[in-house]
Amino acid sequence: MVENINADICVIGAGSGGLSVAAGASQMGANVVLVERDLMGGDCLNFGCVPSKALLAAAHRAQDIREADMFGIRSADPAIDMQAVHDHVRSVIDGIAPHDSVERFEGLGVRVVQAPGRFLSGHEIAAGDFRIQAKYFVIATGSSAMVPPIPGLKDTPYFTNETIFNVTERIDHLLVVGGGPIGAELAQAHRRLGAKVTLIEMDRFMGKDDPEAADIVRRKLISEGVSIHEKTSVVGSSQNGDIIQLSISRDGQTQSLEGSHLLIAAGRKANVESLDLDRANVKFSPRGINVDERLRTSNKHIYAIGDVTGGYQFTHMAGYDAGIVIRNILFKLPAKVSHNAVPWVSYTDPELAQVGLTEQQAIQKLGSGKVTILRWSYGENDRARAEKATDGFAKVLTDPKGRILGATIVGKQAGELISLWTLAIQQKMKIGAMAGLIIPYPTLSEVSKRAAGSYYTPKLFSERMRKIVRFLLKF
C-alpha cells in the first residue's frame, strides 16, 4: 500500500544541511518530512569530517611519540594497533550519531522516511512506499567520491573516503590518487600510522590553496616520508596478486608504482543521478544543481543546498545554506548567499586555513600595485617557539584603504585562528581594528595581530615620523 504524505517542506538528504533545515523549520512550526536513502548524518558524520579528524588525532599522537625527544622526553617508535585505531574512529562517530538520529528528529516533530527519493513532478516525490507532496522541497543530497576513468581501475580494488575508515589491519604501502585536502590529510595520517605512502597529483599539490602555504605542508609530508608526484597523471591500474600497480606519466615519461592498497581521492561529484530532476523541471549539470543567489532552482519552490549545488563543498557551507533557505521559505525574506568570507581548512600538520581572496586572486582583481601583503612568521611567535611549532606564517591582504581582502594561515591551529579573519572580512573591518586588538600572551593568536600591525610599520618607523617625534618632544 502506498501512503500519501502532505507537508510544508520536504527535505531530501539527511546530511548537515538537510538536518539543519529539517530541525530548524520543524521547531519553528513547519510540517517537515525528511527523506534519507542511507545513513543519517550523511557524508560528514559517517565518511568525512568526523572519521577523518578522529583518524588524524590518532596519527598526531603517534607522531608526538616519535618527536618527543625535542622536549627532553625519550622518543620511541609507537606500536600501532589498527583495530584499536578503527575502534577509536568508530566510537567518535557513534558518540555523535544520536544527535543526528531518526529518533531525535522524530522527537523534534520531523517525519523521517528512510528510502531513496525521486521526483514524480514539481510537487511530488516517491520514496519507498510513500508519495510525498509538499509546498517546498529542499534538495540536500550532498556529494560523493568522484572516480576518474583510469584504464583498469574497475578491475582494481580501491578505497574512497566511504571505505577507507573500515580498515582494521596495518596498510603496508598506500597509493593515494589526488593531492587535495582529502588526499593530503589521509596520506599524512596513514604515514604517521606506519604505512609507506605515495601520493600522485595531476596538477599542483593542494592546488586551490596559496602556493607558498601549500609548500609548507608539502615539505612537512615529504620530511615524514610521503613520496609526492605532482603534475603526474595515472594512466593505468592493475592488480597482480596482493600488489596494486599504477602506471603514471609525467612530461611524456611513464613509470610504474606498486603498493598494497589504493585510495582514490580525486575530487567529488554531486549526488543528482537518481533524483529524476527532469520531471521536476530542475536544471542541473555534471557540476551540480543550478541555483540562484537565494538557492532556488529553476523550479522556484524547489531549493538546493550544500555540495549538490557544486559550490563550496564544506559542511559549514551546507549549514550556512540551510539558514538562507529557512529565511526564504519560512519568513519570505529574500535572503541571498554571500561567498565573500568563506573559510576552509586542510587539517594536515601543519594546518592550512584560508578565508577571502588568496594573494593571486587579490592581485588579479585589483592589480599588483594595489594589494598590500602583510605577513608574520610562526618563528617570531613565542608560543610557537615554546611548542616547537615554528613552521608557518599568517599572510593578510588589504586594499589601498586598509580593507581586509583575505587571509591565509599555515601553521599549528590555523583552523582555529582563521575565524578571527572570517569575522573581520564578513563585517568589512579595516586592518586597524585587528591591529588594535588586545591579544593574550603568549598565544598563537598574536601571529594575526602582528601581521595586522605590520601594516603601519613603514609609516611609524619612517624618517618623517622620527622628525615629527623629535619636534614634539621639544615641548
| Binding-site positions | 53, 117, 141-143, 178-185, 201, 267, 307
CATH of the domain at 392: 3.30.390.30
Q: Look at residue 58 and tell me if it is in a domain.
A: no
Same domain, 259 and 289: no
Task: Please tell me the predicted confidence (pLDDT) of residue 234.
Answer: 97
Q: Look at residue 194 and tell me if it is in a domain.
A: yes
Same domain, 283 and 137: yes
| Binding-site positions for NAD(+) | 178-185, 201, 267
HEC readout, the chain: CCEEEEEEEEEECCCHHHHHHHHHHHHCCCCEEEEECCCCCHHHHHCCHHHHHHHHHHHHHHHHHHCHHHHCCCCCCCCCCHHHHHHHHHHHHHHHHHHHCHHHHHHCCCEEEECCEEEEECCEEEECCEEEEEEEEEECCCEEECCCCCCCHHHCCCECCCCHHHCCCCCCEEEEECCCHHHHHHHHHHHHCCCEEEEECCCCCCCCCCHHHHHHHHHHHHHCCCEEECCCEEEEEEEECCEEEEEEEECCEEEEEEECEEEECCCEEECCCCCCHHHHCCCEECCEECCCCCCECCCCCEEECHHHHCCCCCHHHHHHHHHHHHHHHHHCCCCCCCCCCCCEEECCCCEEEEEECCHHHHHHHHCHHHCEEEEEEHHHCHHHHHCCCCCCEEEEEECCCCEEEEEEEEECCHHHHHHHHHHHHHCCCEHHHHHCCCCCCCCCCHHHHHHHHCCCHHHHCCHHHHHHHHHHCCC
Count of structural domains within the chain: 3
Task: Please tell me the predicted confidence (pLDDT) of residue 389.
Answer: 98
Range of the domain at 430: 344-460
Same domain, 165 and 138: no
Same domain, 129 and 158: no
Give pLDDT tens digits along the chain (475 positions).
899 999 999 999 999 999 999 999 999 999 999 999 999 999 999 999 999 999 999 999 999 999 999 999 999 999 999 999 999 999 999 999 999 999 999 999 999 999 999 999 999 999 999 999 999 999 999 999 999 999 999 999 999 999 999 999 999 999 999 999 999 999 999 999 999 999 999 999 999 999 999 999 999 999 999 999 999 999 999 999 999 999 999 999 999 999 999 999 999 999 999 999 999 999 999 899 999 999 999 999 999 999 999 999 999 999 999 999 999 999 999 999 999 999 999 999 999 999 999 999 999 999 989 999 999 999 999 999 999 999 999 999 999 999 999 999 999 999 999 999 999 999 999 999 999 999 999 999 999 999 999 999 888 888 888 889 898 999 9
Q: Look at residue 250 and tell me if it is in a domain.
A: yes
Same domain, 260 and 282: no
How far is CA 142 from its chain centroid?
13
Same domain, 256 and 277: no
Q: Look at residue 475 and tell me if it is in a domain.
A: no
Q: Look at residue 320 and tell me if it is in a domain.
A: yes
Same domain, 321 and 450: no
Same domain, 254 and 279: no
CATH of the domain at 307: 3.50.50.60
Q: Look at residue 117 and tell me if it is in a domain.
A: yes
Domain finish residue from 248, 267, 286: 267
Same domain, 326 and 414: no
Same domain, 16 and 136: yes
Domain finish residue from 285, 310, 331: 331
Q: Look at residue 95 and tell me if it is in a domain.
A: no
| Binding-site positions for FAD | 53, 117, 141-143, 307
Domain finish residue from 299, 331, 363: 331
Same domain, 445 and 359: yes
At position 23, the amino acid (one-letter code) is A
Q: Look at residue 197 and tell me if it is in a domain.
A: yes
How far is CA 201 from its chain centroid?
18
Same domain, 282 and 423: no
